């Protein structure tokens, strides 16, 4: 689609870099719950395409989402523009054994109508030994089916364990829940990942809609900063998640105005003073918290 001036100004400019030197825009797009209602299908496809136009080229999906329906929808949305996108999918823990993971990945590729993933994640830790999952991921990498691999919902102790396995340090990222109302990872995982040059992928970065999101957006500090920047409070919440340069946020949006707002959030720079105000309103944890998981 042709972009007007306002849209051009929204183009995502800040990037996050993986250990292999690949840099991607710091705000991408989630797809959980997409592809499940035929009435919303065309709107969801258009939203993803608009997001790509606006520079949110990373698309996050999973074999779990609608049992493959979200992957199929993404396949349709990126038809003819695979090279413009950075595709992420995830394997169910029960498919993360060495042989099953190959089949699971091939099925995801078929649904996505592509022959490679840019990133393949273990969705959460299950009962297969990590060694087996790593071996499967490495085989997929050697066969050219994935460009890199990572994990999701791993806490610091899980990351240490992974890192110390053979080839565990090839892990490119860890995707975890992170938003203003859930910043438990700032106790130690954020630092662990920075020290290991590993970007964090922040899921549910705007608290999934609903009551918690409303609560965050009605906070007077967030409202005051938003008014200063002449943007919506939610854009401040999103800009906050990507402030460090080592976090990629993946908000899901199926409405055009939401997509536009999210894309614009990547060019909002919060000052030190504003970050301190936010820290006062939403304090960093002072002790280890269990990893929040949805
Ligand atoms: P989210 O992105 O925090 O929130 C999505 C909700 O926010 C939707 O209701 C959306 O509405 C609304 N929204 C989006 N942009 C908005 C805006 N600018 N203003 C107001 N509302 C806005 O929640 P999420 O979908 O749970 O998380 C994002 C992605 O992370 C998922 O889609 C999935 O890809 C990934 N994820 C991964 C895991 C994991 O275990 N690894 C777990 C959860 C999620 P509309 O759709 O109506 O626009």
**Predicted local confidence at residue 23, as pLDDT:** 97
| Residues in a beta bridge with 177 | 203
6: pLDDT confidence band, cut at 50, 70 and 90?
Answer: low
203 as an active site residue: the answer is no
Question: pLDDT of 170-212, one tens digit each?
Answer: 999 999 999 999 999 999 999 999 999 999 999 999 988 777 7
CA–CA gap between residue 248 and residue 199 (Å, rounded): 7
* CA 40 / ligand 1 centre spacing (Å): 15
**Predicted local confidence at residue 216, as pLDDT:** 80
Question: pLDDT of 120-154, one tens digit each?
Answer: 999 999 999 999 999 999 999 999 999 999 999 99
Question: pLDDT of 224-260, one tens digit each?
Answer: 999 999 999 999 999 999 999 999 999 999 999 999 9
59: pLDDT confidence band, cut at 50, 70 and 90?
Answer: very high
pLDDT for residue 77 is more than 90: yes
Q: Which CATH class name applies to 23-208+245-255?
A: alpha beta
For the segment 97-112, the average pLDDT, to the nearest whole number, is 96
Residue bearing the CA closest to ligand 1, atom 24: 204
96: pLDDT confidence band, cut at 50, 70 and 90?
Answer: very high
Check: CB of residue 174 under 8 Å from CB of residue 159. Answer: yes
| Residues in a beta bridge with 30 | 60
Check: CB of residue 70 under 8 Å from CB of residue 31. Answer: yes
Structure tokens at 171: 């892990």
Asked if residue 258 has its Cβ within 6 Å of ligand 1, the reply is yes
CA–CA gap between residue 85 and residue 112 (Å, rounded): 12
* CA 286 / ligand 1 centre spacing (Å): 27
Helices (H), the chain: 5-8, 41-53, 69-77, 98-112, 130-142, 156-163, 189-195, 210-217, 220-229, 233-241, 256-265, 272-281
């Amino acid at each position: 689609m042709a972009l007007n001036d306002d849209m051009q100004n929204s183009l995502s400019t800040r990037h996050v870099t993986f250990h292999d030197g690949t840099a991607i825009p710091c705000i991408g797009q989630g797809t959980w719950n997409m592809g499940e209602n035929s009435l919303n299908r065309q709107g969801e496809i258009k939203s993803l395409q608009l997001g790509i136009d606006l520079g949110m080229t990373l698309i996050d999906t999973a074999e779990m989402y609608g049992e493959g329906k979200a992957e199929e929808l993404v396949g349709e949305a990126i038809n003819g523009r695979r090279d413009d996108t950075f595709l992420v999918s995830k394997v169910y823990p029960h498919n993360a054994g060495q042989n099953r993971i190959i089949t699971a990945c091939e099925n995801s590729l078929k649904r996505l109508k592509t022959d490679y993933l840019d990133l393949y994640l273990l969705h959460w830790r299950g009962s297969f030994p990590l060694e087996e999952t790593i071996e499967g991921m490495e085989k997929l990498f050697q066969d050219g089916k994935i460009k890199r691999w990572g994990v999701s919902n791993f806490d610091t102790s899980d990351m240490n364990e992974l890192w110390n396995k053979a080839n565990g340090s090839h892990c490119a990222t860890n995707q975890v829940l992170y938003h203003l109302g859930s910043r438990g990872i700032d106790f130690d995982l954020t630092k662990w990942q920075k020290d290991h040059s590993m970007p964090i992928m922040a899921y549910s970065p705007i608290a999934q809609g609903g009551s918690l999101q409303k609560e965050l957006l009605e906070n007077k500090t967030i409202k005051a900063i938003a008014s200063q920047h002449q943007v919506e409070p939610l854009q401040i919440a999103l800009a906050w998640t990507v402030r460090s340069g080592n976090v990629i946020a993946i908000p899901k949006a199926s409405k055009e105005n939401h997509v536009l707002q999210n894309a614009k959030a990547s060019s909002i720079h919060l000052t030190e003073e504003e970050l301190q105000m936010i820290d006062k309103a939403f304090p960093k944890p002072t002790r280890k918290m269990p990893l929040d998981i949805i």
